C-alpha cells in the first residue's frame, strides 16, 4: 500500500486541479478560452493512456497480441451512453436528494460500470474461443472481432446507427479522466505484482513451460483479456461523456492499431512506457499540425516516417523495459547510501 | 460474376501476402497500399498512353509499366524499412509495416490528391451472354489473369531454382543461409514479385470498378490477408481460393442481406474457420515444438 501512495497522490491532485479548472471550487472562475484546445488534447491524451495501459496488460504483460481493442472501447462507449440516455432520469430520480454535482457523479459511475461490465462480457465471449490461437492468428482474429463489433453497433438503430449517437450528456472533464487513468495504473500495477501477475508473465515468457508447471494458461489469458477489455470499456465510456457524440467510424481497426502503436513506441510491458506512448502519440500528431501548411496530409507522412525510424533505431520502444519501479529503485538506492548500509 | 471478379482481386493481393508471410512470417500491412499505388500507376500510364483506340497491346503496356513501378517500390520498402528490423521482435516489424502502410496512404493522399479518380480502361471492353448471365470483358480478364498469375507463381516456386531457394528460406532462414542461399536476395525478389502482383490487381480493379482513391488499399489489403489465412497461409492456390470465397460471400451478403454487414462477413468466415481448422482450408497443420 505504501508503494501506491504516490499514485493516489497524483489522483487526488488531478481531481483537485480539474475541480479548480472547471470552476467548481472557486465559482465563477473558469479556464480562459485560449486554454480550451490544449485542455482537450491533454484530456484525450488521458483517455489514450487508459487505453494503452489496459492493452499493455494483455499485449505487454501476457504476451498475447490483440489488435481489437477499439471494439471493446466501442462497447463500453455505446453501453455507457445508452444507459445514460435511457435510464439517466431514473438514476437521477433515485438520488435527487443529492446536489447536482453528486448526482452527476452517481450517474457517471453507474454508466461507466455498466459499460465496463458489457465490455468485460464482450471480452469473455471473444476471448474464450480466440485465445486458443496464438501469434499472428490471434492478432487477425481479434482484429476481425473488433470490426464485427463495430459493424453490429452500426446496425443497432437505437444507438443512432450510421447517423451517430447524439445528445450524450457531458459529464466528464480533465479530472475524471486522469483520476481513472491513475486508478487504471494502480490496478494494472497490482495485478502485475500479484501472484496472478507472475502467472501472466510466465505465460508470456514460455506458454508451454508455464503449462507444464501447472498454470492453466487459457484461464490466465482469458482473465487478463477480460480485465483489459473492461478497462477499454471504461475509457470508451469516458470518451462518450467527454465528447457527447459517438460514431462507429471512431472505432475502426485503425483506432486499435493506434493503441498498439502507443504501447510499442512506449515500450511493451512497461506501464510507464504506455503512459508516455499514449500521451506522446496525440501530442506528436498535434504538434506536427503546422507542417500541414506545406501540403495537406504532410503531417501524417512525417508522423509515419518518425514511427518507422523509431522502430528501426529503438525497436524495444522509447523506454524499453524501464517502468515505474525503476524510478523508485534509483531513489531507494540513494536512501541506502545515505543510511550507510551496504 | 461480380463475386468472382472481386474474389480474384482479393486472391491476387492475397498471393503477395502469402508469399511474404511464408518467407518472413511478417504480415506486410503495406501490401494493400502497394496495390493502391499500382492502381494509380495504371491510371497515370493509361492516361499517358491514351491513343485513339483502346487496344489490348496498350493495356499490356500499361500493365507491364505498373508492375515495374510496384516491384521497385516493393524492393525499396524491403530494403529501407523491413531489413533493418528483421532481427528485432515480431511486434517491432509489425509496427514498422503499419508505419510503411500509413506512409504510403498519406503520401498517396498528398501526391495523388484525396479525391477519387475515375479510370478509363485502356483495354477494349465488350460483354457477352453466358446462359442467364452477362459477362463483362473486365470481369473475365480479371478472372483469367489471376488464374494465369497463380499458375505462373506455382511453376516458379515449384520448378525453378529460385523457387527452391524461396522454399528453403521459408522453411528455415538460417539453415538456408548456411547452405549458401543468398537469403537477402531471395527475400528482396519475393517482395518485388508480390508487389508486382499487387500492381496487376490494381490495374485490373481500375478496369472493373472504375474508381480509385488513396485509401482503397486498407480494406482490400485486410480482406486479402484474411483470404490468405482462409486458404492456408503460404499456399498459392489457397490464397486464390480464399479470395474467391470471400469475394462471393461478400457479394451474396450485399445482394441478399444488408450491405452494412459486408465488411463483417469476411471476418466472420475467418473466425469460424480458424476455430475449427486453424491451418486454413488447404494448409498443413504445423506441429508445435518445445
Helix (H, G, I), strand (E, B) or coil at B127: strand
Beta bridge partners of B212: B117
pLDDT at A116 (0 to 100): 93
Point out the least confidently predicted range of A211-215, A222-226, A290-294: A290-294
pLDDT at B213 (0 to 100): 79
Query: What are the chain A neighbours of B218 within 8 Å (beta carbons)?
Result: 254
Q: Taking the alpha carbons of B149, B240, A255, A266 in that order, is the dihedral positive or negative?
A: negative
Q: d(Cα B112, Cα B102) in Å, to the nearest integer?
A: 15
- Cα of A136 to nearest chain B Cα, Å: 8
User: Between B267 and A223, whose confidence is greater?
Assistant: A223
pLDDT at A72 (0 to 100): 93
- Cα of B88 to nearest chain A Cα, Å: 7
Long-range contacts of B263-268 (CB under 8 A, 24+ apart): B263/A147, B263/A151, B263/B219, B264/A147, B264/A148, B264/A151, B264/A152, B266/A144, B266/B223, B266/B226, B266/B227, B267/A143, B267/A144, B267/A145, B267/A147, B267/A148, B267/B226, B268/A144, B268/A148
Residue of chain A nearest B289, judged by CA positions: A208
Q: d(Cα A14, Cα B27) in Å, to the nearest integer?
A: 41
- In tens, the pLDDT along B83-138 reads 887 777 777 788 888 888 888 888 888 887 777 777 666 555 666 665 666 667 77
pLDDT at A118 (0 to 100): 93
Cα→Cα distances A335→A1, A9, A329, A342, Å? 19, 21, 10, 11
Q: d(Cα B243, Cα B231) in Å, to the nearest integer?
A: 8
| A110-143 burial: b if 16+ Cβ within 10 Å, else e | bbbbbbbebbbbbbeebbeebbbbeebbbbbbbb
Q: Are B242 and B226 in contact (CB under 8 A)?
A: yes
Residue A341 has pLDDT above 50, yes or no: no
Angle at B50 between CA B47 and CA B53, to 5 degrees: 145
CB contact under 8 A, A136 and B263: no
The verdict on B288 touching A (C-beta cutoff 8 Å) is yes
pLDDT > 90: percent of chain A: 14
Query: What are the chain A neighbours of B96 within 8 Å (beta carbons)?
Result: 307-308, 311-312
pLDDT at A337 (0 to 100): 44
Of B99, B263, B290, the CB nearest to A304: B99
In which band, very low, low, confident or very high, does the pLDDT at A74 lie, cut at 50, 70 and 90?
very high
CB contact under 8 A, A133 and B25: no
Angle of helix A298-313 versus helix B90-112 axis, rounded to 10: 160
Cα→Cα distances A91→A88, A102, A168, A186, A241, Å? 5, 12, 15, 29, 16
The verdict on B127 touching A (C-beta cutoff 8 Å) is no
In which band, very low, low, confident or very high, does the pLDDT at A230 lie, cut at 50, 70 and 90?
very high
Interface of B with A in 267-286 (CB under 8 A): 267-268, 270-271, 274-275, 278
List all residues 6 or more positions away from A337 whose beta carbon is below 8 Å from its beta carbon: none
Residue of chain A nearest B214, judged by CA positions: A297
pLDDT at A339 (0 to 100): 44
Q: How many residue pairs from chains A and B have C-beta atoms closer than 8 A? A: 121
Nine-digit cell string for B257:
442481406
Query: What are the chain A neighbours of B278 within 8 Å (beta carbons)?
Result: 133, 137
Residue A338 has pLDDT above 50, yes or no: no
- In tens, the pLDDT along A257-293 reads 888 888 888 888 788 888 888 888 888 888 877 777 7
Low-confidence stretches of chain B (pLDDT beneath 70): 1, 50-56, 119-135, 210, 257, 278-290
- In tens, the pLDDT along A162-201 reads 777 877 887 777 778 888 888 888 888 888 888 898 889 8
In which band, very low, low, confident or very high, does the pLDDT at A23 lie, cut at 50, 70 and 90?
low
Of A148, A155, A257, the CB nearest to B98: A257
Beta pairing class for A165-166 and A245-246: antiparallel
Interface of B with A in 15-44 (CB under 8 A): 21, 25, 27
Q: Are A251 and A74 in contact (CB under 8 A)?
A: yes
The chain-wide mean pLDDT, for chain A, equals: 80
DSSP letters spanning A74-135: HHHHHHHHHHHHHHHHHHHHHTTTS-HHHHHHHHHHHHHHHHHHHHHHHHHHHHHHHTTS-H
Where does B114-269 show beta strands of DSSP type E?
Answer: 127-130, 133-136
- In tens, the pLDDT along A289-328 reads 777 777 666 777 888 888 888 888 887 777 766 666 655 5
Instruction: Tell me which residue of A279, A251, A250 sits closest to A265, measured CA to CA.
Output: A279
Q: Taking the alpha carbons of B268, B271, B274, B277 in that order, is the dihedral positive or negative?
A: negative
Mean pLDDT: which of A1-10, A159-168, A250-259 is highest? A250-259
Residue B76 CB neighbours (<10 A): 14
The verdict on B89 touching A (C-beta cutoff 8 Å) is yes
With 0-12 / 13-18 / 19 or more C-beta atoms within 10 angstroms meaning exposed / middle / buried, residue B228 is buried
Instruction: Tell me which residue of B35, B58, B206, B39 sits closest to B119, measured CA to CA.
Output: B206
The verdict on B110 touching A (C-beta cutoff 8 Å) is yes
For range A129-146, the mean pLDDT: 81
CB contact under 8 A, A162 and B100: no
Cα→Cα distances A136→A204, B226, B279, Å? 15, 11, 12
Instruction: Tell me which residue of B76, B28, B99, B74 sits closest to A314, measured CA to CA.
Output: B99
Amino acid at each position: 500500500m505504501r508503494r501506491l501512495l504516490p499514485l493516489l497522490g497524483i489522483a487526488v491532485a488531478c481531481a483537485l486541479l480539474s475541480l479548480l479548472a472547471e470552476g467548481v471550487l472557486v465559482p465563477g472562475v473558469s479556464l480562459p478560452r485560449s486554454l480550451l484546445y490544449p485542455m482537450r488534447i491533454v484530456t484525450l491524451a488521458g483517455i489514450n493512456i487508459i487505453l494503452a495501459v489496459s492493452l499493455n496488460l494483455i499485449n505487454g504483460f501476457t504476451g498475447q497480441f490483440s489488435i481489437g481493442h477499439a471494439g471493446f472501447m466501442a462497447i463500453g462507449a455505446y453501453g455507457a451512453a445508452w444507459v445514460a440516455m435511457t435510464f439517466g432520469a431514473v438514476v437521477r430520480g433515485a438520488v435527487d436528494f443529492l446536489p447536482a454535482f453528486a448526482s452527476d457523479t452517481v450517474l457517471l459511475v453507474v454508466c461507466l460500470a455498466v459499460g465496463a461490465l458489457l465490455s468485460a462480457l464482450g471480452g469473455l465471449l471473444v476471448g474464450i474461443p480466440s485465445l486458443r490461437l496464438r501469434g499472428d492468428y490471434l492478432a487477425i482474429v481479434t482484429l476481425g472481432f473488433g470490426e464485427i463489433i463495430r459493424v453490429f453497433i452500426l446496425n443497432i438503430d437505437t444507438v443512432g446507427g450510421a447517423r451517430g449517437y447524439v445528445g450524450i450528456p457531458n459529464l466528464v472533464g480533465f479530472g475524471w479522466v486522469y483520476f481513472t487513468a491513475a486508478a487504471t495504473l494502480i490496478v494494472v500495477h497490482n495485478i502485475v505484482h500479484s501472484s496472478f501477475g507472475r502467472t501472466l508473465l510466465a505465460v508470456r515468457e514460455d506458454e508451454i513451460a508455464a503449462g507444464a508447471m501447472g498454470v492453466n494458461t487459457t484461464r490466465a489469458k482469458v482473465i487478463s483479456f477480460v480485465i483489459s477489455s473492461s478497462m477499454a470499456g471504461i475509457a470508451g465510456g469516458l470518451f462518450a461523456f467527454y465528447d457527447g457524440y459517438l460514431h462507429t467510424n471512431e472505432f475502426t481497426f485503425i483506432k486499435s492499431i493506434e493503441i498498439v502503436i502507443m504501447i510499442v513506441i512506449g515500450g511493451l510491458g512497461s506501464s510507464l512506457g504506455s503512459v508516455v506512448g499514449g500521451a506522446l502519440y496525440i501530442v506528436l500528431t498535434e504538434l506536427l499540425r503546422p507542417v500541414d501548411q506545406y501540403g495537406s496530409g504532410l503531417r501524417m507522412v512525417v508522423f509515419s516516417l518518425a514511427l518507422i525510424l523509431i522502430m528501426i533505431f529503438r525497436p524495444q520502444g522509447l523506454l524499453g523495459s524501464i517502468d515505474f519501479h525503476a524510478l523508485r529503485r534509483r531513489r531507494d538506492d540513494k536512501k541506502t547510501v545515505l543510511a550507510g548500509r551496504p | 460474376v461480380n463475386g468472382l471478379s472481386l474474389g480474384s482481386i482479393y486472391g491476387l493481393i492475397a498471393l503477395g501476402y502469402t508469399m511474404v508471410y511464408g518467407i518472413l512470417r511478417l504480415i506486410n500491412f503495406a501490401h494493400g497500399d502497394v496495390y493502391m499505388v499500382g492502381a494509380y500507376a495504371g491510371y497515370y500510364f493509361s492516361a499517358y498512353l491514351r491513343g485513339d483506340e483502346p487496344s489490348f497491346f496498350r493495356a499490356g503496356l500499361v500493365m507491364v509499366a505498373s508492375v515495374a513501378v510496384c516491384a521497385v517500390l516493393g524492393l525499396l520498402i524491403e530494403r529501407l524499412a523491413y531489413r533493418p528490423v528483421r532481427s528485432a521482435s515480431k511486434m517491432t516489424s509489425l509496427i514498422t509495416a503499419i508505419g510503411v502502410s500509413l506512409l504510403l496512404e498519406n503520401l498517396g493522399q498528398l501526391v495523388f490528391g484525396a479525391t477519387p479518380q475515375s479510370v478509363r480502361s485502356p483495354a477494349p471492353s465488350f460483354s457477352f451472354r453466358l446462359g442467364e448471365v452477362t459477362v463483362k470483358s473486365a470481369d473475365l480478364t480479371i478472372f483469367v489473369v489471376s488464374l494465369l498469375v497463380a499458375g505462373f507463381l506455382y511453376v516458379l516456386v515449384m520448378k525453378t531454382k529460385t523457387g527452391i531457394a524461396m522454399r528453403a528460406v521459408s522453411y528455415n532462414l538460417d539453415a538456408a543461409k548456411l547452405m549458401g542461399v543468398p537469403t537477402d536476395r531471395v527475400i528482396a525478389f519475393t517482395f518485388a514479385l508480390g508487389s508486382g502482383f499487387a500492381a496487376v490487381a490494381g490495374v485490373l480493379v481500375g478496369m472493373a470498378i472504375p474508381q480509385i482513391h488513396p485509401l482503397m488499399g486498407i480494406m482490400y489489403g485486410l480482406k486479402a490477408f484474411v483470404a490468405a489465412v482462409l486458404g492456408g497461409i503460404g499456399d498459392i492456390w489457397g490464397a486464390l481460393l480464399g479470395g474467391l470465397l470471400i469475394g462471393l460471400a461478400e457479394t451474396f451478403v450485399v445482394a441478399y442481406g444488408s450491405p452494412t454487414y459486408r465488411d463483417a462477413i469476411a471476418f466472420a468466415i475467418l473466425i469460424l474457420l480458424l476455430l475449427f481448422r486453424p491451418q486454413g482450408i488447404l494448409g498443413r497443420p504445423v506441429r508445435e515444438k518445445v
